[in-house]
Structure 1
Amino acid sequence: MSEDKVNSKRSDEEGAYAVWATPSKDALKRIKKLMSGLRSKFGGPKFDPHLTVIGPINLKGKDALDKFRAACHGLKAYPAQVKDVSTGDSFWQSVFLRLDATPQVVGISEHFDAHFGYDRSTPYLPHMSLLYADFTDEEKHEALAEAKKLDDTIDTMSFAIDRLELYITPSDKTLKSWVKVEEYVLCAP
């Protein structure tokens, strides 16, 4: 278990905070390669692969950091399994990997919901976005086909989630204002 203070000067800032789960190193490399291939063909902002655990939720920075640290304490790395490659109806979910809603994946989200006092308006959809874009239905279909072409076994991928990250994520489609505040390395299971 270790905490890595990434950008503590932002800890007093009020804003929209999110908690992300990050895949293990090998999975991260593979997913980044797929994301890069999709961006080269379809454009869109660059971002790191992540499973959104909660967010964004408006908090003061110190409050977000305290809640994050308390929620992370004692957590262990856990498995994740890709269910399929899919498309959604929002910029943030244009093309994504849908993950199996296992007890571990959903449990971590519920754990953080409780610590942060986060009240979901929709059921939790465990996913890792591959591309952020405002697409037509035809463009989504093309991007989905391209994702499967670039990595034809991505929909059977399994990996460990071994880090959690706290980000400040203002509503900025360029993502230039997004900043990692802190990272927490999960204990081995």
Structure 2
Amino acid sequence: MPISAEQEALEAQKDALEMHRYAVWGLIPENAYKRVKKVMEALREEFGGPEVEPHISIVGSCLDTEDEAINRFTGACMPHLSLLYGSLTDEEKKRAKEKVLAMDPSITELQYVISRVALYRVNFADRTQKSWVKVREGNLKIN
């Protein structure tokens, strides 16, 4: 049974007032996306971990309402690129690094401009990250 426009508006308002975890991700442009995705898939195949879209973490894990998160969306810091998610031993980390360098020795020199970012609602209890939801996406102004 379809819900009314009024019910839909009330649900949206309720969701905007609830506290959730949010993260801001820089979206990798197509020219670098395929290379990064290929390395991530190979690492995940050998070491496990959830499938995650290639991104640059700009702001991680802020507990906010959706409105507060959107207001913070413009202030970002401390970006980094994660090729693999999961809990690895020091030996596994060493092997993963060796695998990356064997697959694509110049990936650490890869340069690109992040022109788009995304705000995600995240739940770190969900190790698969399948419940993570993209809330908003936007273009960065490049001066």
Aligned to 1:88: none
Instruction: Specify the structure having the higher radius of gyration (Cα).
Output: 2
Q: Distance in 2 between matches of 1:12 and 1:159?
A: 36
Q: Report matched runs for 1:1-189 at 5 Å.
A: 11-68=16-73, 71=74, 108-109=76-77, 124=78, 126-171=79-124, 172-187=126-141, 189=143
| Whole-Å separation in 1 of the counterparts to 2:80 and 2:30 | 18
Q: Secondary structure at the match of 1:174?
A: coil
Contact 1:11 1:65 in 2 (8 A): no
Provide the C-alpha distance between the structure 2 equivalents of 1:15 and 1:41, rounded to a whole number of angstroms: 32
User: CA separation in 2, counterparts of 1:188 and 1:67?
Assistant: 19
Equivalent residue pairs, number: 129
Q: Distance in 2 between matches of 1:11 and 1:29?
A: 34
Of structures 1 and 2, the one scoring higher in RCO (CA 8 A, sep 6+) is 1
Matched residue SS, 1:15:
strand
Using the TM superposition, give the Cα deviation of residue 67 of structure 1 relative to its aligned residue in structure 2, in angstroms.
Answer: 3.4
Structure 2, unpaired ranges of 5+? 1-11
CA RMSD, aligned part only?
1.9
Q: Helix, strand or coil: the match of 1:31? A: helix
In the alignment, structure 1 segments of 5+ residues that lack a partner are 1-8, 73-107, 110-123
Q: Which runs of 4+ in 1 moved over 3 A?
A: 9-13
CA contact (8 A) 2:58 2:80 kept: no
